[in-house]
Amino acid sequence: MSADGMRVVVVGAGIAGLTAAVDLMEAGADVTVLEARDRVGGRMHGIPISASVVADGGAAYLGTQHTELLSLIRQHGLELASTASPGDSTFLMSDRRTTSASRMPPLNAVALGDLFDRLEAVVAQVHPEAPWRSRRAESLDRLSAARWLADERMHPDAETFFPLFIGEMMAADPAAISVLHMAFYLRSGGGIRFLNAFEGGAQQWRIDGGSHLLCSAIAERLGERVRLRHPVCAIDQDADDVVVHSLSDVDGTRAEFRADKVVVAIPPLLAQGIEFRPALRWPRATPHTGRGCAVKVHLSYPEPVWRDHGLSGWSVSSHGPLLSTVDDSPPDESAGVLTGFVTGKAAAAFSALSSEGQRDEVLAHARRLFPQLPPPTRCSVTNWLTEKYSRGCYAALFGPGDWLRLGPTLTEPHGRVHWAGTETSVEFFGLIEGAIRSGQRVACELIHAADAADDSRKVMSR
Which residues contact ligand FAD (rule: CB under 6 A)? 11-17, 34-37, 42-44, 58-62, 231-232, 265-267, 270, 294, 296, 384, 389-390, 393-395, 421-422, 430-433, 435
Q: β-strand 88-93 against 96-100: which pairing, if any?
A: antiparallel
Three-class secondary structure assignment of 92-104:
EECCEEEEECCCC
Nearer to ligand FAD, 178 or 382 (CB): 382
- Quote the least distance from Cβ 432 to ligand FAD, whole Å: 4
- Quote the least distance from Cβ 389 to ligand FAD, whole Å: 4
Q: Are 119 and 179 in contact (CB under 8 A)?
A: no
Which positions ≥6 away from 456 have C-beta within 8 Å?
none
- Quote the least distance from Cβ 231 to ligand FAD, whole Å: 4
Task: Give, for 45, the enclosing helix (H) or strand (E).
Answer: none
Q: How far apart (Å, rounded) are the C-alpha atoms in residues 378 and 384?
A: 19
Please state the separation of Cα 156 from the chain's center in Å: 30
The DSSP 8-state label assigned to residue 81 in this structure reads E
Nearer to ligand FAD, 224 or 240 (CB): 224
Nearer to ligand FAD, 296 or 365 (CB): 296
- Nearest CA to 268 out of 428, 391, 393 is that of 391
Q: How far apart (Å, rounded) are the C-alpha atoms in residues 276 and 255?
A: 16
State the Rg of the chain over Cα. 23
Nearer to ligand FAD, 204 or 300 (CB): 204
- Quote the least distance from Cβ 189 to ligand FAD, whole Å: 9
Q: How far apart (Å, rounded) are the C-alpha atoms in residues 42 and 58?
A: 9
- Quote the least distance from Cβ 177 to ligand FAD, whole Å: 16
Coil, strand, or helix at residue 461? helix
Nearer to ligand FAD, 207 or 373 (CB): 207
Nearer to ligand FAD, 12 or 290 (CB): 12
Q: How far apart (Å, rounded) are the C-alpha atoms in residues 56 and 75?
A: 21
Nearer to ligand FAD, 178 or 425 (CB): 425
- Quote the least distance from Cβ 453 to ligand FAD, whole Å: 27
- Nearest CA to 30 out of 41, 39, 21 is that of 21
Read off φ and ψ for residue 50, nearest 5 degrees: -160, 180
Nearer to ligand FAD, 46 or 305 (CB): 46
Expressed in angstroms, the distance from the first to the final Cα of the chain is 21
- Quote the least distance from Cβ 96 to ligand FAD, whole Å: 28
Task: Give, for 287, the enclosing helix (H) or strand (E).
Answer: none
Handedness of CA 98, 202, 319, 302 (dihedral sign): positive
Q: Are 325 and 314 in contact (CB under 8 A)?
A: yes
- Quote the least distance from Cβ 419 to ligand FAD, whole Å: 10
433 — alpha (psi -120 to 50), left (phi > 0) or beta?
alpha
Nearer to ligand FAD, 3 or 294 (CB): 294
Q: Are 343 and 171 in contact (CB under 8 A)?
A: yes
- Quote the least distance from Cβ 424 to ligand FAD, whole Å: 8
Nearer to ligand FAD, 23 or 88 (CB): 23
- Quote the least distance from Cβ 430 to ligand FAD, whole Å: 5
